[in-house]
């Protein structure tokens, strides 16, 4: 029996999963070939390196299950850049290389991938209940798949079919220019340029967790509506903590919650602008790829704000592309609900090594 090790490594937490590979060549999908055997999460900063964490994980797995299961291959999704199978994590003192991990952990093969590349792999292992479909479209198994996900930043990537599998390509599309579509968005663009003293504004500055806060600040400073005390306190506390490594509040979450509960007009307008900008950028990605294999919206923001994503504003902005709008009406659009899609992807990547 073959075992794989999958990991989703972040600056705050790391999730490790031991996976059994079933030798079933007749299985319909890659997901049916893999069975999760044991999973655990750790505070990343509690360990000086990934190696002692993995060793502790395997020891715990053996103690809990009563079986010794030594993985042969591993894939770790890293929240940061990966170059030549090495990575230095931004918010940790870890410096990882696949070659060192293979030696120290006695593994045949280790692969390091960017966390959004792992999401790309993960789309291939999702099941129906992992998704919320916004638009059924006209699915084409031979067409590309697009992935976009707003979180801390804005990830974008795509998958190209290659025989009975796919090749995954991460991109830096989140750093493309923000394209305003209304007078209010043009004012937002100018506000961000002046605020940050920059000559151009990337779409990531608007379509991300930070973007939600920036839109709110823009509307607040323009006195679009009166602030509610609870949200104002969260925003003010966060602003005071600018530059600090650890912050005690999540202003984006406070804004989106108030919008979901329809108790703050300023927050509702903030999320309205955010969702429309998100949809418009997803549509831009759709035009470049024509992903009739599906466009998948990843990242925690979409899943946590599902009612706001389902109002129709996202899809209207997605397909509002003038004379070529009809091309995007054929694209299947899905929101990924499975928060562990990156871990699923890491396991699938390990299986392909």
Whether pLDDT at 255 is above 60: yes
Q: How far apart are CA 343 and CA 7, in angstroms?
A: 6
Tokens standing for 337? Answer: 């609900």
- Across the beta sheet with 2-9, the strand order is 34-43, 13-21, 2-9, 73-78, 109-114
Label residue 121 by pLDDT band (50, 70, 90): very high
Tokens 């070659």, residue? 99
Q: What integer is the mean pLDDT of 305-329?
A: 97
Whether pLDDT at 68 is above 90: no
Q: What percent of the chain has pLDDT over 70?
A: 95
pTM of the predicted model, to two decimals? 0.90
Name all domains of the chain by residue range, CATH numbers in brackets.
2-126+339-352 (3.30.420.40), 173-336 (3.40.367.20)
- Beta pairing class for 2-9 and 73-78: parallel
Whether pLDDT at 343 is above 50: yes
Label residue 30 by pLDDT band (50, 70, 90): very low
Residues 6+ apart with CB under 8 A from 290: 143, 144, 327, 331
Whether pLDDT at 178 is above 90: yes
Bigger pLDDT: 151 or 245?
151
Q: How far apart are CA 135 and CA 133, in angstroms?
A: 6
Q: Among 16-20, 137-141, 233-237, name the one with the lowest average pLDDT.
A: 233-237
Tokens standing for 27? Answer: 């299985």
Residues 6+ apart with CB under 8 A from 297: 134, 148, 149, 278, 282, 309, 333, 334, 335, 336
C-alpha dihedral over 215, 218, 220, 224, to 10 degrees? -90
Residue 41 pairs with which residues in a beta bridge? 15
Spell out a b/e string for 207-220, using b for 16 or more CB atoms within 10 Å of the CB, else e. bbbbbbbbbbbbbb
Q: What percent of the chain has pLDDT over 90?
A: 77
């Amino acid at each position: 029996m073959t075992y794989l090790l999958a990991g989703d490594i972040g600056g705050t937490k790391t999730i490790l999963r031991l996976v059994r590979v079933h030798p079933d060549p007749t299985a319909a999908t890659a997901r049916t070939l893999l069975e999760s055997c044991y999973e655990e999460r750790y505070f990343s900063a509690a360990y000086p390196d990934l190696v002692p964490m993995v060793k502790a994980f395997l020891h715990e797995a053996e103690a809990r299950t009563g079986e010794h299961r030594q993985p042969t291959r591993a894939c770790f999704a890293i929240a940061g850049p990966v170059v030549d199978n090495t990575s230095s994590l931004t918010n940790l003192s870890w410096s990882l290389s696949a070659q060192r991990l293979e030696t120290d952990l006695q593994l045949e093969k280790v692969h390091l991938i960017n966390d959004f590349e792992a999401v790309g792999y993960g789309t291939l292992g999702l099941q129906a209940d992992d998704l919320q479909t916004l638009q059924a479209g006209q699915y084409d198994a031979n067409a590309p798949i697009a992935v976009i996900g707003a979180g801390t930043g804005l990830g974008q990537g795509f998958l190209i079919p290659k025989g009975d599998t796919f090749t995954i390509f991460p991109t830096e599309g989140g750093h493309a220019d923000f394209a305003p579509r209304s007078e209010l968005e043009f004012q937002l663009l100018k506000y961000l340029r002046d605020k940050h003293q920059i000559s151009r504004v990337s779409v990531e500055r608007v379509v991300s967790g930070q973007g939600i806060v920036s839109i709110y600040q823009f509307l607040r400073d323009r006195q679009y509506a009166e602030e509610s005390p609870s949200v104002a306190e969260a925003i003010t506390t966060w602003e005071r903590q600018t530059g600090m490594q650890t912050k005690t509040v999540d202003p984006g979450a406070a804004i989106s919650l108030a919008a979901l509960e329809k108790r703050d007009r300023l927050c509702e307008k903030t999320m309205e602008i955010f969702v429309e900008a998100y949809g418009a950028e997803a549509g831009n990605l759709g035009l470049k790829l024509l992903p009739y294999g599906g466009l998948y919206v990843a990242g925690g923001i979409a899943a946590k704000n599902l009612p706001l994503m389902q109002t129709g504003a996202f899809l209207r902005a997605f397909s509002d592309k003038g004379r070529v709008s009809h091309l995007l009406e054929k694209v299947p659009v899905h929101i990924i609900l499975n928060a562990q899609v990156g871990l699923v992807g890491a396991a699938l990547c390990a299986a392909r090594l």
